[in-house]
Amino acid sequence: MKTTTRVALIILCLTSNSSFSQNLSEDWKFQATGYVVEGFTTNNPDEYVWHEESNKSQGILINVLPADKIPIFVEQGNNYIAFNTFTSPSGGFEFIIGIDVNINDNGFYNIYNDEAAFAVVWNNSSNVFYSLGTYNLKVRIVEAMGTQYYREYDIRVIPSSDKLYKDNYGNTLRRWEGNNSGNNIPVVFSEGFDAYDTNPQQMYYYAASGLISCMRENGFDIFLLDNKYGTQDIRNNAAGFDGAVRYVSGLYGNNLVVAGGVSMGGMIARYAFAKAENEGNPLPAYTFISIDSPQQGAIISQTLQDYKKEATQGDAFAEHALNNDAAKQLLDYSTYDPGGAVHNAFYSELNSLNGNGYPHQTYNIGVSFSTDIPNPNTGTWLSITGESAPFPPEVVDFELTDEEKVAGSYLPADLTTTAPFIMRYYAWYWNFLIQPWNYPVITISRTQDPAYISYNSALDIVNGQSKFDIVIEPDQTTYHDILPQEIIDKILNELLFRSIFLQNQIVSTSKLYLGKKIYAGENVNQNIPSGNFVIGSGVEVGFTATEEIVLMDGFIAMENSVFIATIDENLLVSCNKDQGKDSMLDDYKSFITNNRELNQTNTMNTIQRLKINENHVIAINRVLTYPNPVNGKLNILFPIVENNSINIELCDMLGNTLFEQENCKNNHNFIDFSTFKPGLFLLKIEYKGNFVIKKIIKE
């Protein structure tokens, strides 16, 4: 294989060190590759230095040696595609003299016709894939002897990112901005396991497009983190995650963020959170979210792993999928660490950090892609037929093991294609040069689905209890790489409306607290130092909750302050169009989470203001009832009364009066439901000739 001056220039075009590269992209990533780049970063978060790139264009490297039909993820109007034959970072097979492309079967046209090269940049690919959606791309490669070979790809176009950031190790953050620019909440998600660094941020955006689109519509900026070395020790990538979260927080005036990850990314995030708190330097985040992550390990059967190890022995590329630090740490059984020493040491350390392996100063959300129903599949789930070298002509069947039949999200289908099994370096070379289409190596038939991330692992359930503050699961089990549609609203509303505990602080500037449940008083949460929650004189404070507001002893509003409490379940967001609500109400776009400053113009002037004239809370802007549903006492709070002018009446659905009180003297009243049968009740409140009717449920 020879290398000419011209080919060397093409290679320079694909590196960030050349001026020509900067004219195209600052971020070239493989989405199909023919070699492995191994490396490592530091486990010291302070050594990660981030900066914004001036050019956010997406560079896509497609190695044409593999014959697999794979999806390629591109940004709308923001991409350059480079076809190549790299077998190392600096060289490949120099035989491409022509490339023709065919989009959606509309005929081939030429994009390259010149001397032999091993890398060709398609400069106007953005102009071809100009709209969101999926395109079919057929590629015809003409090699130096004139023979034509074909490749085929599904091009999936996502919205263009708004910013690109890099650190000194090559990790990247891509930012997609929400619709409330200047007042959005940043969210940092880490990618999962990526053996060959071929899963870019754009792939994760596409996979979670329903959730990400809805989050952007509701005031979140999305940062997706790509780890340069996805198979290195999780501790190192956790340090990189730590640095990324602190950098993003700094971009937003050191405000708190939401941070977490999907799959292994949830492990990376959890380790970073727990270690930071353990060392007395918590991450600047108020919520940690783990999305179908192996918090107790991942499952790939021993028989399948052992077979792959034997069949690919001596091929470093094929072995790399399992023979790496991260795989050994995550897998319950690893064929390259059969005794489990690496796995056990990692989880033992993780679970010891910060008391229980979790941050305690954040709201921790655990998401599973499965239900708690055991896997109903049984018997043979995978058959592999060897048709030619390097595999013998035989059929090997794999039975579902007991471990694979537990409740859990299913192993992604693409993990049991030819990709993990064939002798990649050897087979790709002959695959390309001998056959225009796929050269048969093995045939794989998958008929059942094994569990991959168990339900207990995703939610970290120990002795029947999850270590997360809140858990989210779908109605039906799905694959590990498919986000269940029905949990999107649940995730979004947990991020928007978390439970808030307020104590041991004096509020001296106007604020609005927005949450699912809001508790305020002297000792509402044992993890916070006890002390009164005080609204200072002349200060306006609002509580808006989707479920309940609980005011306990130690809640004090000073004279001339303003307090507004609102229960409004209509604030809950739905991303499903048929539910009639696409995004948050405009009046609540500028809300405060975790003591964010109040935007009075956008928020407080939409709510009735009531002054407090005594040193205790007696004012709300509408009738407040809690809890609902109720088992015991129902609390009823209403605005300041004049001349005992409020009457209360509780009726059943037949119109029978069960409770009645006229001329209420207090603003806080109770009805004892303990003696009532479960059912639906109507609470009627009369105030100065006006009536309010509320539905109350007795469980």
Domain spans of the chain, in order of start: 5-158, 497-622, 623-699
pLDDT at position 480 = 96
Provide the edge-to-edge strand list for the sheet that holds 442-446.
395-399, 380-386, 442-446
Beta bridge partners of 301: none
* CATH for 5-158 (1.20.120, 3.40.50, 2.60.40, 3.30.300): 2.60.40
Say if CB 96 and CB 112 are below 8 A apart.
yes
Percent of the chain surpassing pLDDT 90: 49
- Categorize the per-residue pLDDT at 310 as very low, low, confident or very high, splitting at 50, 70 and 90: confident
- Categorize the per-residue pLDDT at 576 as very low, low, confident or very high, splitting at 50, 70 and 90: low
Distance of CA 57 to the CA centre of its chain: 23
pLDDT at position 691 = 62
What mean pLDDT do residues 66-91 have?
A: 88
pTM reported for the whole predicted model: 0.76
DSSP helix/strand/coil, 249? helix
State the Cα–Cα distance between residues 677 and 41, nearest whole angstrom. 63
What mean pLDDT do residues 203-226 have?
A: 94
Structure-block tokens of residue 489: 């609203």
State the Cα–Cα distance between residues 638 and 621, nearest whole angstrom. 8
- Tell me whether the CATH fold assigned to 5-158 matches the one assigned to 623-699: yes
What mean pLDDT do residues 337-355 have?
A: 97
φ and ψ at residue 278, rounded to 5 degrees: -60, -30
Say if CB 151 and CB 68 are below 8 A apart.
no
Buried (b) or exposed (e) across 253-280, using 16+ Cβ within 10 A? eebbbbbbbbbbbbbbbbbbbbbbbeee
Structure-block tokens of residue 591: 């809300």
How many CB atoms are located within 10 Å of the residue 23 CB?
12
More confident residue, 479 or 7: 479
3-state secondary structure 436-468: CCCCCCEEEEECCCCEEEEHHHHCCEECCEECC
State the Cα–Cα distance between residues 139 and 60, nearest whole angstrom. 15
What mean pLDDT do residues 616-635 have?
A: 65
Buried (b) or exposed (e) across 102-139, using 16+ Cβ within 10 A? beeeeeeeebbeeebbbbbbbeebbebbeeeeebebbb
Encoded amino acid at 343, one letter = H
State the Cα–Cα distance between residues 451 and 467, nearest whole angstrom. 21
How many CB atoms are located within 10 Å of the residue 606 CB?
11
> Which residues does 207 contact at the CB level (< 8 Å), separation at least 6?
481, 482, 483
- Categorize the per-residue pLDDT at 374 as very low, low, confident or very high, splitting at 50, 70 and 90: very high
| Beta strand pairing call for 679-687 and 461-462 | unpaired
567-573's contacts with Cβ under 8 Å and 24+ in sequence apart are 567/624, 567/625, 567/626, 568/544, 571/496, 571/497, 571/514, 571/544, 571/546, 572/489, 572/493, 572/497, 572/546, 573/214, 573/218, 573/489, 573/492, 573/493, 573/496
Q: What is the pLDDT of residues 132-173, one digit of tens each?
A: 999 999 999 998 888 888 899 999 999 999 999 999 999 999
- Categorize the per-residue pLDDT at 593 as very low, low, confident or very high, splitting at 50, 70 and 90: very low
Structure-block tokens of residue 671: 């009805």
State the Cα–Cα distance between residues 56 and 322, nearest whole angstrom. 33
Percent of the chain surpassing pLDDT 70: 82
Residue 586 has pLDDT above 50, yes or no: no
State the Cα–Cα distance between residues 520 and 542, nearest whole angstrom. 12
- Categorize the per-residue pLDDT at 390 as very low, low, confident or very high, splitting at 50, 70 and 90: low
Q: Whole-angstrom distance between the N-terminal and C-terminal Cα of the chain?
A: 77
Q: What is the pLDDT of residues 521-564, one digit of tens each?
A: 888 877 678 899 988 888 888 888 887 788 887 888 887 787 87
pLDDT at position 594 = 31
What mean pLDDT do residues 633-646 have?
A: 65
Q: What is the pLDDT of residues 602-624, one digit of tens each?
A: 222 223 333 333 333 333 334 66
pLDDT at position 547 = 79
pLDDT at position 638 = 63
State the Cα–Cα distance between residues 291 and 483, nearest whole angstrom. 9
* CATH for 623-699 (2.60.40.1930, 1.10.10.10, 3.20.20.70, 3.90.190.10): 2.60.40.1930
Is residue 314 left, alpha or beta, with left meaning phi > 0 and alpha meaning psi from -120 to 50? Answer: left
DSSP letter for each residue of 615-683 = SS----SS-EEESSSBSSEEEEE-SPPSSS-EEEEEEETT--EEEEE-S---SEEEEE-TTSPSEEEEE
- Categorize the per-residue pLDDT at 589 as very low, low, confident or very high, splitting at 50, 70 and 90: very low
How many CB atoms are located within 10 Å of the residue 355 CB?
11
How many CB atoms are located within 10 Å of the residue 527 CB?
7
More confident residue, 689 or 479: 479
Of 178, 185, 196, 172, nearest to 52 by C-alpha is 172
Say if CB 480 and CB 263 are below 8 A apart.
yes
What mean pLDDT do residues 444-450 have?
A: 90
φ and ψ at residue 579, rounded to 5 degrees: -95, 5
What mean pLDDT do residues 372-390 have?
A: 84
Residue 273 has pLDDT above 60, yes or no: yes
Residue 435 has pLDDT above 70, yes or no: no
Say if CB 172 and CB 128 are below 8 A apart.
no
State the number of CA atoms in the 13 A half-sphere of 460 facing the CB: 23
Residue 96 has pLDDT above 60, yes or no: yes
Highest mean pLDDT (candidates 333-347, 428-442, 548-562): 333-347
Residue 408 has pLDDT above 50, yes or no: yes
Beta bridge partners of 58: 27, 79
- Environment class of 625 (CB within 10 Å of its CB; exposed 0-12, middle 13-18, buried 19+): buried
State the Cα–Cα distance between residues 345 and 323, nearest whole angstrom. 17
Residue 236 has pLDDT above 90, yes or no: yes
What mean pLDDT do residues 345-361 have?
A: 96
pLDDT at position 536 = 87
- Categorize the per-residue pLDDT at 430 as very low, low, confident or very high, splitting at 50, 70 and 90: very low
pLDDT at position 429 = 40
Looking at the chain, the number of H-run helices and the number of E-run strands are: 14, 42
Structure-block tokens of residue 581: 């609500």
What mean pLDDT do residues 621-647 have?
A: 69
Q: What is the pLDDT of residues 453-499, one digit of tens each?
A: 999 999 999 999 999 999 999 999 999 999 999 999 999 998 888 77
What mean pLDDT do residues 363-372 have?
A: 96
Q: What is the pLDDT of residues 172-198, one digit of tens each?
A: 999 999 987 777 889 999 999 999 899
Structure-block tokens of residue 188: 């940092």
**Strand extents, DSSP E, 172-248:** 172-176, 185-190, 220-226
561 sits in which H/E element: strand 561-567
pLDDT at position 548 = 79
DSSP letter assigned to residue 504: S
Residue 285 has pLDDT above 70, yes or no: yes
Q: What angle do CA 96, 100, 104 make, to 5 degrees?
A: 140
State the Cα–Cα distance between residues 624 and 626, nearest whole angstrom. 7
Of 77, 81, 64, 151, nearest to 122 by C-alpha is 81
> Which residues does 662 contact at the CB level (< 8 Å), separation at least 6?
647, 648
Residue 90 has pLDDT above 80, yes or no: no
